Amino acid sequence: MITLTNLVKRYGAFTAVDGISLDVPPGELHGFLGPNGAGKSTTFRMVAGLLKPTSGQVLVNGADMATEPEAAKASLGFIPDRPFIYEKLTAGEFLRFHGGLYGLEGEEAAGRVREMLALFELSAWEHQLVESFSHGMKQRLVMGAAFLHRPRAVLVDEPMVGLDPRGAQLIKAVFRRMTERGVAILMSTHTLEVAEEMCDRVSIVLKGRIIAQGTVEQLRERSGDRHEQLTPLFLKLTGGSGLQEIDEAVA
Ligand SMILES: Nc1ncnc2c1ncn2[C@@H]1O[C@H](COP(=O)(O)OP(=O)(O)O)[C@@H](O)[C@H]1O
Ligand SMILES: [Mg+2]
């Protein structure tokens, strides 16, 4: 479970996150949807405990990130949009290193590392240096590292960017299985198709605020046309560039 209350982040006079409140209950895959610069990654860095909020509260499975950061982080898996990977480690070394950060040791660690390599289809690359991996392989490795300690809440920033269809299918299946087991997942995306296909509920974020929230079906109803595609609705809500601007730019 992830609970955000009035989360704010200011940089000088600029407000990147402007009072976000959100509840992701166990078993829900919640989409955090918005254009570039909306404040998604800034919000995620605060939820992960990497960035101190200007004000507001982050609870991860009931633990307050400000006052009980170790408890909060122990049950959270975070997959950032641009993860840092030590390229000179092998896949197996990378996972064992991460296991150590979560206190996994000995046979338990070795078993979990094998499970993650198998789940993310990297077993054959266990002894290869990460520097030789494709983008998709690195992404799968980073997910394996984030899931080693069986987090009950998962934060994942733009996971579908640059994945091949097979990688995308695998990750969708893994997320679905995790939510079936009661894991709460908060996933950011700027792709409506991803949100529509994967998310139980979505929050549409613009200029650091949630401007709409609900199931995709509810958002469609809100737009007044049950059959309207989400993309025009999203552009309407966020004021994104419409065909008119594109026409003007290329004409
Ligand atoms: N360290 C920082 N200092 C100043 N402005 C920042 C900083 N980090 C992010 N921002 C600004 O905050 C806004 C939100 O950024 P971000 O959270 O990365 O958006 P998103 O992930 O939705 O694309 C952007 O306008 C960005 O330029
Ligand atoms: Mg971002």
Q: Say whether both 181 and 92 belong to one domain.
A: no
Domain interval for residue 164:
1-75+152-213
Q: Which of 130, 150, 170 is at the close of a domain? A: 150
Pairwise CA distance, residues 141 & 33, whole Å: 24
Q: Say whether both 158 and 68 belong to one domain.
A: yes
Number of domains in the chain: 2
What secondary structure does DSSP assign to 88-144, as a single string? TSBHHHHHHHHHHHTT--HHHHHHHHHHHHHHTT-GGGTTSBGGG--HHHHHHHHHH
Residue 49 is given by DSSP the state T
- The one-letter amino acid code at 200 reads D
Q: Quick one: which ligand is closest to 38's CA?
A: 1
Residue 163 is given by DSSP the state -
- Read off the pLDDT band of 110 (50, 70, 90): very high
The answer as to whether 248 is a domain residue is: no
Specify which residues 156 forms β-bridges with. 79, 187
The answer as to whether 236 is a domain residue is: no
Q: Which of 150, 167, 191 is at the close of a domain? A: 150
Q: Say whether both 146 and 93 belong to one domain.
A: yes
What CATH number should be reported for the domain holding residue 187? 3.40.50.300
pLDDT digit string, tens, across residues 2-18 = 999 999 999 999 999 99
- Read off the pLDDT band of 195 (50, 70, 90): confident
Q: Is the pLDDT of residue 81 over 80?
A: yes
The answer as to whether 134 is a domain residue is: yes
pTM: 0.90
Question: In angstroms, what is the span from residue 36 Cα to ligand 1's centroid?
Answer: 9
Torsion of CA 134, 139, 143, 146, to 10 degrees: 100
Atom of ligand 1 nearest to the CA of 16: 12
Question: Taking all residues of the chain, what is their mean pLDDT, rounded to a whole number?
Answer: 90
Q: Say whether both 65 and 97 belong to one domain.
A: no
Q: Say whether both 28 and 56 belong to one domain.
A: yes
The answer as to whether 250 is a domain residue is: no
Atom of ligand 1 nearest to the CA of 12: 4
Q: Say whether both 61 and 16 belong to one domain.
A: yes
For 29, 47, 50, 233, the CA distances from 36, given in Å and listed in that order, are 21, 19, 20, 17
| pLDDT value at residue 12 | 96
Residue nearest to atom 17 of ligand 1 (CA): 39
For ligand 1, which residues put their CB under 6 angstroms from it?
11, 14, 16, 34, 36-42
Which one of 18, 36, 42 would you pick to mutate in the ligand 1 pocket, going by the greatest count of ligand atoms within 8 A of its CB? Answer: 42
